[in-house]
Amino acid sequence: MNELFKNLKKYKSKVALIDDSFNKVDYTELFEIKNRFKKLFPSGSVALIIVDNSIDSISSYIGFLDLKLVKVIVDNNISRKFFKDLEKKYNLNYVICLERKMKFLNIKGYKILNRNVCYKKLGNKKLKINTINSLLLTTSGSTSSPKFVRLSQLNLIDNCSKIIKYFGLTHNSRSITSLQPAYSYAISIINSHISAGGSLVITKKNIMESEFWECFKKFKVNSFYSVPIMIKYLEKIDFKILNSDYLKYIAIAGGGLENYYLRKISKFAKKRKIKIFYMYGQTETSPRMSYLNPKYFNLKLGSIGQPLKGGKFFLKDENDNIIKNSNRQGELIYSGKNVCLGYANNYKDLYLGDINKGVLNTGDYATRDSRNFYYITGRKKKISKIFGQRIDLDHLKKKPILKKIIKDIYSNDQELFIDTFKKNKFIEARNHVSSILKINKLYIKKYEETYKPEFKMIK
């Protein structure tokens, strides 16, 4: 039985989801939602699921994941134009989202599906697609590109089981939604905790708001999943907000982090007897490839560690030859059962099966030391990661609204630096980029400036 959430019935009345208003969803309700959805949505359909950090939205996502549909997952901030583009390009049969989003998208005749979540059957004809395609996730984390990563149910199950094992997740595990749920990193947190019988605290607050940390402590969260920019922020307040008797580990993924910050978080974690998991992955691998065992965190500072059990890393030189010697740079290649099937740009790609055959060229340069620990040294393509989003900088600067303003965009994987054709156009460019990527203007600087982060401290 190829189901990620096959044990929902097992945990019965245990709380699975709880939000900052004390609304709760238990495992029995998730089981009932899943069974109800099975009867409503026929196998082989293509459904657009628009998600946000609300208990209704995430419980509906869980209800859909094991269904034999192609689930196209996007963030709640999509525009009307992008929705229309997706409807046409992917021949969508259904759209599922919160009622207020239905109204925003000007969709009429929708029906209530689950609490505040609604669905609408669209007029497109159902096609005979390849049902190995289970989940489509955006390659960039943005809501403006129709290119998606095609994942199978087996991809998701393989990676989820490994995540559960190396984190040691159980029915006692509890995390909090610190990331947007349409991103692969956030989805893996949801999948692994629910599959393990754990629980999630659902909040739309971010880590710069005191209400987030009130939830963190009130609901006794025992794990914190972060991206590098979060660690940089927390370092400014000496990580004191993470002081909790319940916190067992901190996970860091979504891009590289300088050794200075790794040492600082390590010092804090050692004092509090908290484990740190430093991870590496991409949406194309469902999404984790490797992790650094916490016991090696200081000894192998900055290393992405070693591949998950069952996966393999190897390096290739510029002539496509495998590098056998240590301490030589090459492109990092990964193989494993969690490698995606390929990409999709429209519904015709949903006829395709497994193109990648379990092998992914990551596009990252890396080295390997004598003990087979890997270190990322650079990127082959001009791709950046901000808040866990993979952003194609060349694609971004070519957008019609930006291409006459922006000369170039750079990144150190934590912030963006904009070089404009005219000096007086920077603020306009920054506003557009902030709006497109949905990131705070704090992380967008002029190219010639030295970046000095300024945060409003939590009271």
For the ranges 12-26, 344-358, 391-405, 444-458, which has the lowest average pLDDT? 444-458
Question: Locate tokens 């994987």: which residue?
Answer: 413
Look at residue 453 in the predicted model and tell me its pLDDT. Answer: 34
Spatial separation of the C-alpha atoms in residues 314 and 330, rounded to whole Å: 9
Give yes or no for a contact between 356 and 340, defined as CB atoms under 8 angstroms apart. yes
| Pair of tokens at residue 15 | 């709380």
Look at residue 144 in the predicted model and tell me its pLDDT. Answer: 60
Look at residue 139 in the predicted model and tell me its pLDDT. Answer: 79
Domains of the chain: 1-309+339-354 (3.40.50.12780), 398-446 (no CATH)
Q: In sequence order, what are the residues at sequence separation of 6 or more whose Cβ sits closer than 8 angstroms to the Cβ of residue 35? A: none
Look at residue 399 in the predicted model and tell me its pLDDT. Answer: 84
Mean pLDDT (the chain, rounded): 91
- SS in 3 state form for 36-83? HHHHHCCCCCEEEEEECCCHHHHHHHHHHHCCCCEEEEEECCCCHHHH
Instruction: Place 132 in a pLDDT band, splitting at 50, 70 and 90.
Output: very high
Among candidates 154, 70, 187, 155, which has minimal Cα distance to 339? 155
Give yes or no for a contact between 424 and 430, defined as CB atoms under 8 angstroms apart. no
Inform me whether the pLDDT recorded for 456 exceeds 80: no
Give yes or no for a contact between 37 and 49, defined as CB atoms under 8 angstroms apart. no
Which whole number is the average pLDDT over 112-133? 95
Look at residue 449 in the predicted model and tell me its pLDDT. Answer: 45
Spatial separation of the C-alpha atoms in residues 275 and 29, rounded to whole Å: 33
Kindly write down the DSSP assignment for every residue of 238-266, as one continuous string.
TTGGG--SS--EEEE-SS---HHHHHHHH
Residues pairing with 172 in the sheet: none
Spatial separation of the C-alpha atoms in residues 412 and 407, rounded to whole Å: 17
Inform me whether the pLDDT recorded for 435 exceeds 70: yes
Look at residue 413 in the predicted model and tell me its pLDDT. Answer: 62
Spatial separation of the C-alpha atoms in residues 309 and 20, rounded to whole Å: 36
For the ranges 41-55, 303-317, 412-426, which has the lowest average pLDDT? 412-426
Instruction: Place 411 in a pLDDT band, splitting at 50, 70 and 90.
Output: confident
For the ranges 252-261, 287-296, 341-350, 411-420, which has the lowest average pLDDT? 411-420
Inform me whether the pLDDT recorded for 450 exceeds 60: no
Which whole number is the average pLDDT over 139-143? 56
Inform me whether the pLDDT recorded for 458 exceeds 50: no
Look at residue 100 in the predicted model and tell me its pLDDT. Answer: 97
Among candidates 354, 339, 364, which has minimal Cα distance to 285? 339
Inform me whether the pLDDT recorded for 454 exceeds 70: no
Backbone angles phi, psi at 277, to 5 degrees: -110, 115
Tens of pLDDT, residues 163-208: 999 999 999 999 999 898 999 999 999 999 999 999 999 999 999 9
Of 92-96, 226-230, 258-262, 420-424, which has the strongest mean pLDDT?
92-96
Spatial separation of the C-alpha atoms in residues 138 and 148, rounded to whole Å: 4
Instruction: Place 388 in a pLDDT band, splitting at 50, 70 and 90.
Output: low
Give yes or no for a contact between 36 and 120, defined as CB atoms under 8 angstroms apart. no
Look at residue 141 in the predicted model and tell me its pLDDT. Answer: 47
Strand blocks (E) in 115-187:
117-121, 135-138, 148-151, 174-176
Look at residue 389 in the predicted model and tell me its pLDDT. Answer: 67
Q: Give the DSSP letter of residue 126.
A: P
User: Residue 50's CB: how many other CB atoms inside 10 A?
Assistant: 24
Give yes or no for a contact between 79 and 143, defined as CB atoms under 8 angstroms apart. yes
389 membership: H or E segment, kind and range: strand 389-392
Spatial separation of the C-alpha atoms in residues 418 and 8, rounded to whole Å: 47
Residues pairing with 343 in the sheet: 149
Spatial separation of the C-alpha atoms in residues 419 and 417, rounded to whole Å: 7
Inform me whether the pLDDT recorded for 62 exceeds 90: yes
Question: Beta 70-75 vs 135-138: how paired, if at all?
Answer: parallel
| Pair of tokens at residue 363 | 């596009």
Look at residue 451 in the predicted model and tell me its pLDDT. Answer: 36
Look at residue 459 in the predicted model and tell me its pLDDT. Answer: 32
Tens of pLDDT, residues 232-288: 899 988 999 999 999 999 999 988 888 999 999 999 999 999 999 999 999 999 999
Q: Give the DSSP letter of residue 305.
A: B
Tens of pLDDT, residues 26-59: 999 999 999 999 999 999 999 999 999 999 999 9
Inform me whether the pLDDT recorded for 301 exceeds 50: yes
The rounded radius of gyration (Å) of the Cα atoms in the chain is 22
